Amino acid sequence: MNRRLQKHAWTLGLVLLLAVLMIVTKLIQPSFGATGLESLARAALPFAFATVAMAIVVIVGGIDLSIASMMAVCGVTAAVLMQSMGVVPAVAITLVVGLVMGAINGTLIVVTRVPDIVVTLAMLFVWEGVALLILTSPGGTVAPGLRSLISGAMIPGVPNALIFMAAAVALVWLPIRRSKLGLSIYAVGSDELAAFRSGINVAWTKITAYGLAGLLSAMGGLSLIMLTGIGEPVPGPYLLASVAAVVLGGVVLGGGRGGLLGPIIAVFVLRIIRTILTLAAVDPNVTTIVEGVIMVAVVMLGAVLTYRGARG
Amino acid sequence: DGHGNYTIGVSNTVQGNGWREQMICAMRAQAAAEGDVESLIVAHRNTDAAGQLEDLNNLIEAGVDAIVLNPANPDALNSALDAAIEAGIVVVAVDAGVSAEGAYILSNNQEEYAYLGARWLFEQIGGEGDVVYMRGIAGVSADTDRDNGFRRALEEYPNVNVVHEVFTGWQQDQGKQQMFDFLATGIPFDGVWTSGIDNVIVDAFVESGAPLVPIVGADNAGFVQYLNDIEGFTGAAVTNPGSVGGAGIALAVDILNGNAPEETTVLVDPVLWENATPEGQETIAGALNPDLDPEWPVSVSIPGWTDYSMEEIIACEG
Amino acid sequence: MSEQPRIHADAAVETGFKRFGRYLADNPVIPLIAFLLLLVVVLEIMRPGIVTPFRAGRDGIISTFWVGNLIKFAIPLAMLAACQVLTMLTAGIDMSAGILATVSAFVCATLAPLIGVTPAVMIALGTGVVAGLVNGFGVGIVRVHPLIMTLGTGLIATGCLQVYQRFVISTGTLIPETLVWLGTGRTAGMPNGLFVFVPFAAAVLYLMRFTGFGRLLFALGSNEAAAKLSGVRGWQVYLALYALSGLIAALAGLLYLGMIRTPSLSLANPLLLPSVAAAVIGGTSIFGGRGSFAGAIVGALILRVIDTMLTLLQMPEGARIAFFGLIILLVTALYVRITGAR
Amino acid sequence: MGGTEQATLLDATGVAKSFGAVRALTDASLHVAPGEVVALMGANGAGKSTFVKILTGALKPDAGRVLIRGEEAHVGSPAQARRSGLVPVYQEPSLIPDLDVADNLRLGDTPREAFLHWVHELGIKGVRMDDMIADLPLATLRILDLARALASEPDVLLLDELTAALPTDLVENVLRVVRTQADEGRGVIYISHRFTEIAELCDSATVLRDGKTVGALKIEPGVEDRCVELMLGAKLSLDRREAGAARVNTGVPRLRARDIAIAPKVSNVSFELYPGEVLGVVALEGQGQDEVFDVLSGHVKPTGGTLEVDGTPMHFGHPADAIAAGLSFVPGDRAHALLRERSVRENIALPFSARIRDWGPLKGRHEKQRVDHAIEKLQIDTRAQGEVQRLSGGNQQKVTIGRWLAHGVETLLLFDPTRGIDVRTKRQIYPLVRELAEQGAAVLFYTSELEEVPLACDRAIVIFNGRVVDVIDAADASEEALMRAAYGLTEESAAS
Ligand SMILES: Nc1ncnc2c1ncn2[C@@H]1O[C@H](COP(=O)(O)OP(=O)(O)OP(=O)(O)O)[C@@H](O)[C@H]1O
Ligand SMILES: Nc1ncnc2c1ncn2[C@@H]1O[C@H](COP(=O)(O)OP(=O)(O)OP(=O)(O)O)[C@@H](O)[C@H]1O
Ligand SMILES: [Mg+2]
Ligand SMILES: [Mg+2]
């Protein structure tokens, strides 16, 4: 039990931090309530998917700098497809497109033996270009039914956006996490050579992990167009935010350690900090500084804590 | 006259660009100049439409009376804007339009902006010849609007040919490099139309020793300076005042005070300043402001809309 | 990577090709230069005459010497790539380099009219060093991952720059004459920036290869525990390294300011990702312990040539961006294939 | 045991493998019959590990034929090897550090019951299924690796220097279990540099020299000499050091430890180390010797006690402090000591640049002289000197020692420097250590192989359960006496 607690101490700390921040929000703006929570959950959606996608590749020992670009490709793909076909086929095709893009990233990393950070840096440009080729300026349509999926709250107090996110991530990750594939992902991230010698197909595991990241990026892209109602070909600011949230969430850069819950909570922490700063009418330029300082400070705190932990 | 102590929310999605900074400062200055505005909450960062939705929702949550925004996209923000309007919040979009029902729009006419400059340029090169067309960021609304205006002018001058089209990404260094590269090819051309990145384009000609051709840019302080200073350089600056933000605040206050305009859409039409005629040169000399950040448009106010002084907008407080 | 794939590259028999491959692996800059020349030839075929110096233009002799331009714009890129190469040697990265260059340029241009050119330049370089020290503190002493640390510092620096610029909107700007001369002037068709860059590059190459500090960079990237065992105090090296990286970024910013002559708030930011690309194309391993600044310089030149080609090709913007990415990938993959290095 | 004329389990012929310029294997062959334990012998760098990796699909050979149960086999990956019944325990631990024991088992589809049975059988207690691999000591990992291999019921078990890092008691368990495996009809390939183990366990020996199989022998009394001859290409043997006159230590000790305590492992360690002496450390695995070396080398601060160097009290906050006080440390795990992708020269010269005052220009000639001297002295095989990782284990170990040789030694802390090193290399290391001592250096020498103590040391301290329990005169201590001491049996032996 104690061990289990220790393993999840970081996540618990984040939950606590989130709770404190919620209280601070409530203190600054007493009227903050269900609608506030709802818009928070909606704002967190694309970040959460980007972060979860990033978390999976970081766990497998890589990094994917092209996530925001893949989200853009999927967003415009879905928005364009929905002009000519039903929601279900359009969404299905988009998910497949995401999966394939991610798998292409993974395959290139495995085949070319170029480091992942470099491959995905190059693919960042490639996918961005592809998005612009699909749609030169913002446009397309999104079925209203799809958009209403993430607004409101069927269960009072629990925003639909949150349910949607939880369901989507759980659907992808839970069956995998405890399976051999999930273990392989952790194993490859932890020690690639040992994994290979333990009989794991390292190449396949990596490609699958990157494919999953692509799939989740597709969900991120879909959530973007569900929010805005149109497809935008220019990638949003999701890359750096997702790296920050992944690290804040307790996933170790370098692979093998961490889960998906921590990063998702970290996304909410980062989002609610922005809400607080806006509510408190803090100078927006100072807001940027505050965000930077918080990111660095929390990670420093984490570093100091693990350092102490390793010693004590 | 003081009707109330309004809180106005501002949302903007591009940071670190002189034009947008001027817009924010104009908003602050105008808010300070208006007696009725108690506070301004500014959400100002680099983000996309989804991020702007987040900011808008936060502003609604903060209980503002009005929102003045520079929209990332005309159609993408409707969910938040509808909610705001429903909650009785006055919504004013500046610089570009939004499609939400009941929102006011106080916009620089981007299509007209491009059309005006392009027409002048085509006229200047005698209605025929080759031009270089330097655009902004692919896939961004403002760039698309300007492209429509440019194409409209192009249609009117069938003998004008676009010999080279590039995207500067609205980055000074990229624009300069691209011009250098193109000059190096030795392909002849007769004029340049450039979207916002302008003084560095002139620099590229001067530094490489290439003879200057007519160049159309925006009214950025640096470019206007060149129009005035450089011997033998003909060109034109089309105004695209960032102070439209200040006007947006003024409009929002008017509406809050019950003086809503009849039309929900007000277009601020651009003006063209050229240095090919003596009158034009005089206008430019009058507009000069050598102390201003070279990326800032020199048209710091919009007569009839904004009430602040030069010092106030430069102080950028409020 | 597992041992499995390494095998293909090194396999078996001593064929001539193999020997050639190994020669190239020991001299990684050679295939890169060959590739650069190939690109230039392709460009010349695409646009005959572009490479030729002092060619007759429309109105007589003009000095649009393309090679000069190529080098000129590659210089700041290569300097920022130096930040990446040096930090990558220790398995780090400096994601704040682009912003620090911008800050330095902006601070210099806005302070110069207020306090004079020399103090302004000093303060501008100082901002780079200070920000670098913050990075070094985070990476070396608190042990934050360099990627996160430098991203965070970059974010903070951006915010500070935004706040700062509000105070200097009306003070006007002044680009120091020397910087303009360095940035825009030419001597014998070559950019004056080389007067700074050549000594700079020599210093970096010397630092990497012939000093104890340089050796420690390789050592820390290769095995930090081993370095510690040998008596190396890691935090000292990281502190000095990131401060140096900040200084180089600031210097690159000043040079860039002289070149572009408009102190925008995002002046050098777009150079960040290309600087990382230049470093990796040049054969620097992001995993540390292996890297070459000479390679990064060639990498920067290659990126610039590609830029020119794609600008001139007149393809849709989407295709242009996509091709840029594909070519980076292709070059790095070929490089890895030929030399067997990663 | 099992007749060699029976159908063989594993039959490899003409296996070759090059790594760039290094030809690790040129013509290796090997036959394993059911019920047979084959010792694979060879000096460091002979290609033993490479051979095992090829047989188990972790490396692809350049040439060669492998028959499994008489059928031609292409073993493409470790997974495939496992399916064909070939299960290795590699020289380096192959469990996943960030997964717990249970997940490691699931990953390889290892039956849990069988695994636990073997863990118990091998004498490891207190391992829990939710222990993180990264938190477990090396010796435990080796045993878990073996238990995992045994649990999958292999036809051929390949053990690469499994016992090198194991304490004596665990070695015995391993030998017993492996013997039973063979008795049940399985084949075993056993790699070790210890003749005693091979004599006890193996039926035959296949000897590799420079990547080529140079002979296959039946194990019988007196075969050692023949083996060594084949391995080295000339007759060599381990000679006992002539028992000289017992040293008389006078004056100020170079290093004096008083009541050193390091919670929770070490409670009381005191000793004196004099210039000119080699002081052995005798201890079973995990008695606190690791911690003592960590303190002496400046990696860990002691929780109690004092440390004096040349009579001056010292507090080390960093290895650099220890180095400044003249204490040079060679760790047991060379992975911690080497810059794998850097050259031999850079590895040896590393301490020359450590201090800030040495960050300036390199002193090329001075450095080269001292590095070359160290290389020559240790006879480091520099064929693959461009990258240390291309050297064999033994040569890598020499580099870690050479570093301090070049830097200049006052006090040398050697932690198991001969782990996994062949006889020839050992024969170079003992005299070197002696020579250093004779030149005035003080050497603290821990070894996991007890027979080395009399060969290299003047005296030895015995650490048991975190305390120094005895000091013995090493030069003429018998192995049995050392063994008893290591097991903490000294008091009783004194009483009897
Ligand atoms: N002069 C100093 N200034 C600031 N901090 C110091 C100083 N000297 C030591 N420290 C502290 O000592 C700790 C260890 O730093 P040092 O660089 O010496 O170890 P290291 O080689 O990096 O090894 P490790 O990563 O295990 O700490 C650091 O956390 C740092 O806070
Ligand atoms: N991955 C590799 N790359 C390059 N060279 C290698 C590699 N692995 C092994 N070698 C070289 O192959 C030769 C044989 O190495 P191997 O590890 O098989 O020796 P060994 O007999 O197991 O030695 P030891 O007893 O020291 O473990 C050595 O010269 C070594 O340097
Ligand atoms: Mg440290
Ligand atoms: Mg071996």
Residue C60 has pLDDT above 60, yes or no: no
Angle in degrees, 0-180, between the axes of helices C272-281 and C317-339, rounded to the nearest 10: 30
Residue C11 has pLDDT above 70, yes or no: no
Beta bridge partners of D217: D205
Across the interface, of C10, C218, C230, the residue whose CB is closest to D354 is C230
Counted domains in chain A: 1
Mutate one of A1, A192, A198 to test the D interface: name it (highest D CB count within 10 A).
A198
Q: How far is it, in rounded angstroms, from Cα A42 to Cα A38?
A: 6
Residue B77: CA count within 13 A, CB half-sphere:
33
At C167-178, the pLDDT tens digits run 887 777 889 999
What is the b/e burial string over B134-171, where b = at least 16 CB atoms within 10 angstroms of the residue's CB?
bbbbbbbbbbbbbbebbeebbeebeebeebbbbbbbbb
Q: How far is it, in rounded angstroms, from Cα B79 to Cα A148?
A: 10
D8 or A125: whose pLDDT is higher?
A125
What is the b/e burial string over B90-111, where b = at least 16 CB atoms within 10 angstroms of the residue's CB?
bbbbbbbbbbbeebbbbbbbbb
Task: Provide, as residue numbers in chain C, all residues whose Cβ is less than 8 Å from the Cβ of B181.
Answer: 66, 69, 307-308, 311-312
Q: How far is it, in rounded angstroms, from Cα B72 to Cα B14?
A: 9
Give me the residue label for tokens 């279900």.
A88
Task: Provide, as residue numbers in chain A, all residues whose Cβ is less than 8 Å from the Cβ of D78.
Answer: 196-199
Banded pLDDT at A59 (limits 50, 70, 90): very high
Ligand nearest to the CA of C140: 3
Answer yes or no: is A261 within a domain: no
- Give the sign of the dihedral formed by CA D370, CA D372, CA D377, CA D383: positive
Chains meeting A at 3+ CB pairs closer than 8 A?
B, C, D
Residue of chain C nearest D331, judged by CA positions = C229
Sheet holding D255-262, edge to edge: D312-313, D304-309, D255-262, D266-273, D467-473, D459-464, D278-282, D442-446, D411-415, D327-330
Per-residue confidence (pLDDT) for residue B295, from 0 to 100: 82
Gyration radius of chain C over CA positions: 21
Answer yes or no: is A175 within a domain: yes
Per-residue confidence (pLDDT) for residue A2, from 0 to 100: 56
Across the interface, of D63, D77, D356, the residue whose CB is closest to C236 is D356
Q: Cβ(D332) to ligand 2 under 6 A?
A: no
Kindly give the distance from the C-alpha atom of residue B152 to the centroid of ligand 1, in angstroms, as a whole number.
66
Kindly give the distance from the C-alpha atom of residue D367 to the centroid of ligand 2, in angstroms, as a whole number.
28
Q: Percent of chain C beyond pLDDT 70? A: 87
Per-residue confidence (pLDDT) for residue C10, from 0 to 100: 38
Max Cα separation, chain A? 62
Q: Cβ(C234) to ligand 1 under 6 A?
A: yes
Per-residue confidence (pLDDT) for residue C26, from 0 to 100: 66
D493 has a chain A CB within 8 A of its CB: no
Residue D175 Cα distances to C268, D125, D186, D194, D490, angstroms: 66, 18, 14, 12, 26
Give me the residue label for tokens 């692919």.
B138
Ligand nearest to the CA of D320: 1
Residue C62 has pLDDT above 60, yes or no: no
Residue B88: CA count within 13 A, CB half-sphere:
4
Task: Provide, as residue numbers in chain B, all residues whose Cβ is less than 8 Å from the Cβ of C263.
Answer: 294
Phi, psi for residue D206 in degrees, rounded to 5? -110, 125
Asked if the Cβ–Cβ distance from C316 to A136 is below 8 Å, we say: yes
Range from A252-261, C249-258, D16-25 carrying the lowest mean pLDDT: D16-25
Say what the pTM is. 0.84
Chains meeting D at 3+ CB pairs closer than 8 A?
A, C
Distance from CA of A242 to the nearest CA of C (A): 11
Q: How far is it, in rounded angstroms, from Cα A40 to Cα B184?
A: 52
Per-residue confidence (pLDDT) for residue C6, from 0 to 100: 33
What the block records as the tokens of B288 is: 């000069």
Residues 6+ apart with CB under 8 A from C327: C306
Q: How far is it, in rounded angstroms, from Cα A234 to Cα B21?
A: 22
Range from A45-54, C54-63, C229-238 carrying the lowest mean pLDDT: C54-63
Answer yes or no: is A44 within a domain: yes
Residue C259 has pLDDT above 70, yes or no: yes
Q: Cβ(C62) to ligand 1 under 6 A?
A: no
Nearest CA residue ID for atom 31, ligand 2: D391
Give me the residue label for tokens 């810059």.
D339
| Chains A and B touch each other (3 or more Cβ pairs < 8 A) | yes
C131 has a chain A CB within 8 A of its CB: no
Residue of chain C nearest B171, judged by CA positions = C267
Answer yes or no: is A263 within a domain: no
The secondary structure of residue A197, as a DSSP letter, is H
Q: How far is it, in rounded angstroms, from Cα B174 to Cα C263?
A: 14
Asked if the Cβ–Cβ distance from C320 to A307 is below 8 Å, we say: no
Amino acid at the residue D254: R
Per-residue confidence (pLDDT) for residue D495, from 0 to 100: 39
Q: Which of C235, C239, C241 to mutate to test the pocket of ligand 1 (most atoms within 8 A of CB)?
A: C235
Contacts across the B-C interface (CB distance below 8 Å):
124
Residues 84-123 of D with CB under 8 A from A: 88, 90, 92-99, 103-104, 106-108
Residue B139: CA count within 13 A, CB half-sphere:
27
Task: Provide, as residue numbers in chain B, all residues whose Cβ is less than 8 Å from the Cβ of A285.
Answer: 44
At B125-139, the pLDDT tens digits run 999 999 999 999 887
C152 has a chain A CB within 8 A of its CB: yes
C262 has a chain B CB within 8 A of its CB: yes
B144: left (phi over 0), alpha (psi -120 to 50) or beta: alpha
Residue A268 has pLDDT above 90, yes or no: yes
Q: How far is it, in rounded angstroms, from Cα B312 to Cα B306?
A: 11
Q: How far is it, in rounded angstroms, from Cα C71 to Cα C79?
A: 12
Residue A146 Cα distances to A50, A265, C76, angstroms: 20, 25, 48
Answer yes or no: is A289 within a domain: no
D160 neighbors D92 (Cβ within 8 angstroms): no
Asked if the Cβ–Cβ distance from C165 to B178 is below 8 Å, we say: no
DSSP string, D348-359: HHGGGG-SGGG-
Residue D344 Cα distances to C176, C210, D350, D372, D375, angstroms: 49, 16, 10, 10, 9
Average pLDDT over every residue of A274-294: 85
Spell out, as residue ranges, where chain D has pLDDT lower than 50: 1-5, 235-237, 243, 245, 491-496
Per-residue confidence (pLDDT) for residue B96, from 0 to 100: 84
What the block records as the tokens of C17 is: 């090709």
Residue A129 has pLDDT above 90, yes or no: yes
Q: How far is it, in rounded angstroms, from Cα D455 to Cα D58?
A: 38
Banded pLDDT at A254 (limits 50, 70, 90): confident
Task: Provide, as residue numbers in chain D, all residues whose Cβ is less than 8 Å from the Cβ of A256.
Answer: 96-99
Give me the residue label for tokens 């080497």.
D338
B6 neighbors B36 (Cβ within 8 angstroms): yes
∠ CA(A96), CA(A99), CA(A100), 5° rounding? 85
Q: What's chain A's average pLDDT?
A: 89
A247 or C93: whose pLDDT is higher?
C93
A95 has a chain C CB within 8 A of its CB: no
Distance from CA of A200 to the nearest CA of D (A): 7
Give me the residue label for tokens 């302008």.
B198
Answer yes or no: is A311 within a domain: no
Phi, psi for residue D412 in degrees, rounded to 5? -110, 125
Across the interface, of C1, C142, C152, the residue whose CB is closest to A192 is C1
Task: Provide, as residue numbers in chain B, all residues whose Cβ is less than 8 Å from the Cβ of C170.
Answer: 291-293, 314
Q: How far is it, in rounded angstroms, from Cα C150 to Cα C176?
A: 29
Instruction: State the residue range of the domain holding A198.
Output: 39-237
Residue D315 Cα distances to B227, C35, C39, D320, angstroms: 72, 56, 60, 11
Q: Cβ(D417) to ligand 2 under 6 A?
A: no
A147 has a chain B CB within 8 A of its CB: yes
Residues 6+ apart with CB under 8 A from A13: none
Asked if the Cβ–Cβ distance from A138 to B141 is below 8 Å, we say: yes
Kindly give the distance from the C-alpha atom of residue D336 to the centroid of ligand 1, in angstroms, as a whole number.
19
Distance from CA of C325 to the nearest CA of B (A): 17
Residue ranges of the alpha helices (H) in D202-288?
Answer: 223-232
Answer yes or no: is A19 within a domain: no
Kindly give the distance from the C-alpha atom of residue D162 to the centroid of ligand 4, in angstroms, as a whole number.
10
What the block records as the tokens of C303 is: 């990126």
Q: How far is it, in rounded angstroms, from Cα A244 to Cα C95?
A: 13
Amino acid at the residue D322: A
Q: Cβ(C233) to ligand 1 under 6 A?
A: yes
B139 neighbors B169 (Cβ within 8 angstroms): no
Residue A167 Cα distances to A40, A172, A246, B218, D178, angstroms: 17, 9, 20, 50, 51
What the block records as the tokens of A223 is: 């959530």
What the block records as the tokens of C123 is: 């303060």
Distance from CA of A256 to the nearest CA of D (A): 6
Gyration radius of chain B over CA positions: 20
Given the CA of residue D317, which atom of ligand 1 is nearest to it?
18
Spell out, as residue ranges, where chain B has pLDDT lower than 70: 1-3, 318
Residue of chain D nearest A254, judged by CA positions = D98
Answer yes or no: is A91 within a domain: yes
> Residue A239's Cα: distance from chain center in Å?
9
